[in-house]
Amino acid sequence: MEQFNLLLGDINGFIYGKFLIVVLLGIGIYFTVRTRAVQLRMIPEGIKVISEKAKDKDSMSSFEALMISTASRVGTGNIAGVATAIVAGGVGAVVWMWIIAIVGAASAFVESTLAQVYKEKDGKIFKGGPAYYIEKAMHARWLGVLFAISLILTYAFGFNGLQAQTIASSFEVFVPDFHDSMAPMIIGFVLAACAGVAFFGGTKMISKITSTLVPIMAIVYILLGLIIFIANIAELPEVLGKMFAAAFDFEAIFGGFAGSCVVAGIKRGLFSNEAGMGSAPNAAAAADVSHPAKQGLVQVLSVFIDTLIICSSTAFTVMMTSDSIVETGLDGAPLVQAGFETLFGSAGLIIFTFAMCLFAFTSVIGNYFYAEANIKFISDNKMLMKAFRVLAVLMVFIGAQYSLATAWNIADVLMGVMTTINCVAMLFLGNIAIKVLKDYEEQKKAGLDPTFSAKKLGIKNTDWWN
């Protein structure tokens, strides 16, 4: 088993250290050019369409779909992952994290627009995502099934187990002999019960939970970060100077590229906002909108919320409260926790634990939503869905108690598989998303509230829009 884990580690090192960075960055740049930087040009339009109501009161609105995708994107990586990127690559990594979010948001627009174009009716709501557009537009169901299986195993079993363990381990500081006590089992049971309510409650229950918890979670965390920011405002000029000097010190960067701020920032940006990976489109497809481009624009905002706002809150908390980050000897979550304690004292520990738990739990719900959409792609069998829900709840319970390193390493490999498949699909189908964007812009110029006709644009196999 140890040798197997080492092999998985080598595979993951290649996938995430080189291959996916090049692929995702390249596709982000490509679609930024092809869409004429839609992610920047049309930010006001994206903000405007968030408030639109669904046509059917039982359907999911743009805002609810945004909150589900944000729930999954915004997880413990926004706390621990950002701190680790700063330790690994220095403070300049934050600047590159911002750059990659801006570039990658173009990919988020394309994949989410495609998911809307090829969505299907699922009762009173919708379902869709990369598996669906791969089957309908590329006529490759086998590839769609491979994508779906990879996503299900990655999100419902790999990452949800990891998020459950993160929640459980955050209580270690409060319970003596934590691992030898009943605490992990109790926490696992409570988490599994809460997850079960969401999972068995269906899509509408998930949308209600996330549209309530995610805004609260984000606003509270941002406000706390803002308080720390204001309290240390005198440090800002020095911090910004160090950030941009380090980010563009190319002699130092290329002298040790593998551990540079560029690599650390790009990796954290890519794998935090998930743009281009094929996960968020599963939520984007569920929205009831009059034109696919609307939800593409909304998903751009999800990338910015994740990286430019929440990750930045963590980054400034770390940078403005630590004179020398390296000398602290801390990394990941403990480094951010130390930043909270500088201002809030012992209460900072409780605040930080609450934030970690909320971030992780909303990710569990968002991850499950993605997986359920892909179970439905494979089969509409109701018994299969019930069995899947039971197993998904069981994984949350188990994950809270055990460090399943092998399972999570496998999940990382499978995420590489699903991301690669989605990137290939995006390159094949990107022209369709760009055609949809042009149609949207033409209607806006004519003073219309854009509505979509697949037939008018010559797009086939779009069941709902026909």
Q: What is the pLDDT of residues 348-366, one digit of tens each?
A: 788 888 888 888 888 888 8
Burial class (CB in 10 A: 0-12, 13-18, 19+), 62: buried
Average pLDDT over residues 212-218: 82
324 or 233, higher pLDDT: 233
Question: What structural domains and CATH numbers belong to the chain?
Answer: 2-457 (1.20.1740)
Q: Is 60 left (phi over 0), alpha (psi -120 to 50) or beta?
A: beta
CA neighbor of 164 nearest in space, from 193, 191, 194: 191
pLDDT score, position 252:
55
Task: List the beta bridge partners of residue 239.
Answer: none
For 260, the 3-state DSSP assignment is coil
Q: What is the pLDDT of residues 428-441, one digit of tens each?
A: 999 999 999 999 99
CB 131 within 8 A of CB 377: yes
Q: What is the pLDDT of residues 252-269, one digit of tens each?
A: 555 554 555 666 666 666
pLDDT score, position 172:
75
pTM over 0.85: yes
Q: What is the pLDDT of residues 229-259, one digit of tens each?
A: 898 888 888 888 888 888 777 655 555 545 5
Average pLDDT over residues 174-179: 73
Confidence of residue 110 (pLDDT cuts 50, 70, 90): very high
CA neighbor of 277 nearest in space, from 412, 102, 436, 119: 412
64 or 368, higher pLDDT: 368
User: What's the mean per-residue pLDDT of the chain?
Assistant: 83
CA distance 281 to 275: 9
CA neighbor of 322 nearest in space, from 310, 306, 337, 302: 337
Confidence of residue 391 (pLDDT cuts 50, 70, 90): very high
- When mean pLDDT is compared across 29-33, 36-40, 145-149, 326-330, the lowest value belongs to 326-330
Whole-angstrom CA distances from 96 to 128, 222, 397 are: 32, 21, 37
Whole-angstrom CA distances from 28 to 33, 98, 283 are: 9, 13, 20
Q: What is the pLDDT of residues 397-428, one digit of tens each?
A: 988 887 666 666 777 788 888 889 999 999 99
Q: Is 127 left (phi over 0), alpha (psi -120 to 50) or beta?
A: beta
CA distance 102 to 387: 40
Q: What is the pLDDT of residues 180-194, one digit of tens each?
A: 778 888 888 888 998
Q: What's the token pair of residue 94?
A: 């934050």
CB 175 within 8 A of CB 184: no
pLDDT score, position 329:
62
CA distance 363 to 359: 6
